[in-house]
Amino acid sequence: MSPAKVLSKMNNQDFLQIKTISEQIFPYLVKLRRKFHQYPETAFEEFKTSQTIAQELNKIGLKVKTGIAKTGVVGLLKADRKGKTVALRADMDALPIWEQTDLSYASKNKGKMHACGHDAHISCVIGAAIILSRLKSTLKGNVKFIFQPSEEVSPGGAIQMIKQGVLTSPKVDSIFALHCDSNIPFGKVGTKNGIMMAFADDFDITIIGKGGHGARPQDGIDAIAVASQVINALQTIVSRKIDPLKSAVVSIGIIQGGQARNIICDKVILKGTARSLEKKVAEMLPALIKQIVSGIAKSCRADFKFEYQKGYPVLINDCKSTDVARNVIRNLYNQSSIYEIEKPVMGGEDFARFLERAPGTMMRLGIRNEKIGAIYPWHHPKFKIDENALKIGSAVLAGVVLQSLQNK
């Protein structure tokens, strides 16, 4: 674990107040989170979610702006004393998943579910806003609360919010976020210096063959047979074309093709994702994929179309900001509450775009509790959280803001 490089300028009373308030508002945060969970909305459709967020921020007395990047919301808390501006970010969108939990507050929006914890992220940031508004007299500077749409669907909502000025007026000096993690036990908060998550790009491959009767394959060009070869050959990129000491993933998630069992398929669409941790590897992947598709298509007399979309950049946590987080976790709770994340993951995260423009860090909020079945990974239809984590998340977020505003 990295040694703490930031000396606390918050006294014990500051930490005690944060913890006390987080305990006081905990039942309210649970109620709020369950409301978000019952009515999940997918990317750029978070209209009721953003309306509820705006109402909550107005109750607190913040200056609120809505409709940013369609459904995004920003709340601003201005202290009486001038200083820096620190931002907290929460993502809002749900996933197109049918919920399979036994929760009394399970999703009422069919085929949609908060299976990644964004409902908890929203609640924790609102909780931090309540805590900091009650401690306004101790603040020196401003706090922005950014609620972002479309984290789950690339190119994401962050870039649009940034273009519309969420990091300016006033300029954001640092930014923090947290993400639920069922690999981390309840009571702990994960931190990591440097690279935490991967470049996440998307690609579409269309194999164009020639239709015909299934009993006369010699008269057609079977796009399914060509696509099968392509899928298998793509796996050699990571195993044979990338340095074994580097990290990369090439996965096909969607296959679309065929009309009937006795028709030679004339077109197959493949949709996939490419992940990496280094820019050099990320830049290699499009050409390597296209080279394989082109070679196989040509050898089978087929044609193809290839589209590659750059997605989220690699997420890099600022070391000083991460030490601020560690210091706050340690003082709010204890040293053992800090969970050091040893390795990056190959998932992508839109928060990376904010970190390209302002120093900050993403923390991982421990939600695992085997006794209540909070054991499932992100995007699983049985995903659950230990709701007690809400008071920890809101307290830590409030703490990193107060700490950052007091640091020079």
Active site residues: 312, 387
Other residues' Cβ atoms within 10 Å of the Cβ of residue 11:
10
The amino acid occupying position 306 is: F
Of the candidates 74, 124, 36, which has an alpha carbon nearest to the alpha carbon of residue 354? Answer: 74
User: Residue 29, CB half-sphere, CA atoms under 13 Å: how many?
Assistant: 29
The amino acid occupying position 196 is: M
C-alpha angle 56-182-367 in degrees, rounded to nearest 5: 45
The three-state DSSP-derived secondary structure of the chain is CCCCCCCCCCCHHHHHHHHHHHHHHHHHHHHHHHHHHHCCCCCCCCHHHHHHHHHHHHHHCCEEEEEECCCEEEEEEECCEEEEEEEEEEECCCECCCCCCCCCCCCCCCCCECCCCHHHHHHHHHHHHHHHHHCHHHCEEEEEEEEECCCCCCCCCHHHHHHCCCCCCCCCCEEEEEEEEEEEECCCEEECCEEEECEEEEEEEEEECECEECCCHHHCECHHHHHHHHHHHHHHHHHHHCCCCCCEEEEEEEEEECCCCCEECCEEEEEEEEEECCHHHHHHHHHHHHHHHHHHHHHCCCEEEEEEEEEECCEEECHHHHHHHHHHHHHHCCHHHEEECCCCECCCCCHHHHHCCCCEEEEEEEEEEHHHCECCCCCCCCCCCCCCHHHHHHHHHHHHHHHHHHCC
